[in-house]
Homo-oligomer: A and B are copies of this chain.
Amino acid sequence: MEPKIKIGIAGYGNLGKGVEYAISQQPDMELVGIFSRRDPSSVHPVGDSVAVYPLADVEKYVEDVDVMILCGGSRSDLPEQGPALAKLFTTVDSFDTHAKIPEYFDALDEAAKPAGTTAVLSVGWDPGLFSLNRLYGESVLAEGATYTFWGKGLSQGHSDAVRRIDGVKNAVQYTIPSEEAVEKVRAGEQPELSTREKHVRECYVVLEEGADAATVEETIVTMPDYFSDYDTTVSFINEEEMQKNHSAMPHGGFVIRSGKTGNGTKQVMEYSLTLDSNPEFTSSVLTAYARAAFRLNKSGQHGAKTVFDIPTGLLSPKSAAQLRKELL
């Protein structure tokens, strides 16, 4: 039997915890430990016997870890940790600031190539599985249009924006694809859709005592970039309701490619995810790609890689012959 792939987790928030769970489901992986910037005694892994080390000491574990899964945020953690850790380890991360991917790719590539490591970036569902489906769609149906819809799901960034409003004690925001728009696209109509036509936004808000509901609502629905281009509904609830009904982190969405072949024949390809936990799913994708990263590195493919560069078979613990026999 092959030795197991030894995984380290850098950062232990929702994503890190999800990776800890995901590793326990994979037959060929073992968790070496969690690396955290916090005091290790304040980090409480789900597993009883999981080691926690200071991230500052990570260099000592170069020989013990095959792949480091980076579970920090895209805004400030990954731009710094990504290249630093790629100098030491083969890595996988979920960098999701779409506009900054080319720049981040270059920084990782520059760190990983001389180090002989492999850095797989922007893994998860968008970027990640949705990106792959945008690519399959436009490559196969060369004449057509691609539509990405997100939700129904909790949007962290939009929830934060509402929480920052004066008078708001707590808030969540759900992004919801417009059913009418999705149905048109599914029917192969290739409509031109404005931002407002694609998604609606629902906010659930707990007010501070004495805050004025009408003022808060007006501030939300007119907020530029976040809400002003959308049809937004605001519901006021109490803290108890918030905890009971809005603590989960569901998400999902669709990538639909609608195209024409031959003499105008309609063809529709659709990929959809219905996720009861967004971070746990992203963690599961990261973990499968850790296997691919390990194998790419072993085969001498060093530097930065995206989901587009990776043969799908490398994601599976099964051998190529087994995959041909069982899944093809």
Contacts and interface: CB of A to CB of B under 8 A. Distances in A.
A275 interface: yes
Contacts of A98: 328
Given A131-B327, A261-B21, A321-B102, A281 B310 contact: no
Interface in A163-189: 186, 188
A327 B134 contact: yes
A230 to B, nearest CB: 24
Total identical chains: 2
Interface string A241-276: 000000000000000000101110111111111111
Contacts of A277: 261-262, 265, 267
Contacts of A265: 276-277, 280
Given A102-B325, A136-B315, A307-B312, A273 B284 contact: no
Measured as residues with beta carbon below 8 angstroms from the partner, the interface class of chain A is 35 or more
A233 interface: no
A50 interface: no
A283 B261 CA distance: 9
A259 B267 CA distance: 28
B308 A139 contact: no
A9 to B, nearest CB: 14
A263 B21 contact: yes
A165 B76 CA distance: 70
The 6 closest A-B pairs by CB, nearest first: A308-B313, A139-B315, A25-B142, A261-B280, A268-B274, A139-B288
27 contacts: A17-B262, A18-B261, A18-B262, A22-B142, A98-B328, A101-B324, A101-B325, A102-B325, A122-B328, A132-B312, A135-B313, A139-B317, A140-B281, A140-B284, A186-B274, A188-B276, A262-B277, A262-B280, A265-B280, A267-B273, A267-B277, A267-B281, A268-B273, A268-B275, A272-B272, A310-B311, A311-B311
Interface of A: 17-18, 21-22, 25-27, 98, 101-102, 105, 122, 127, 129, 131-132, 134-136, 138-143, 186, 188, 259, 261-263, 265-277, 280-281, 283-285, 288, 291, 306-313, 315-317, 320-321, 323-325, 327-328
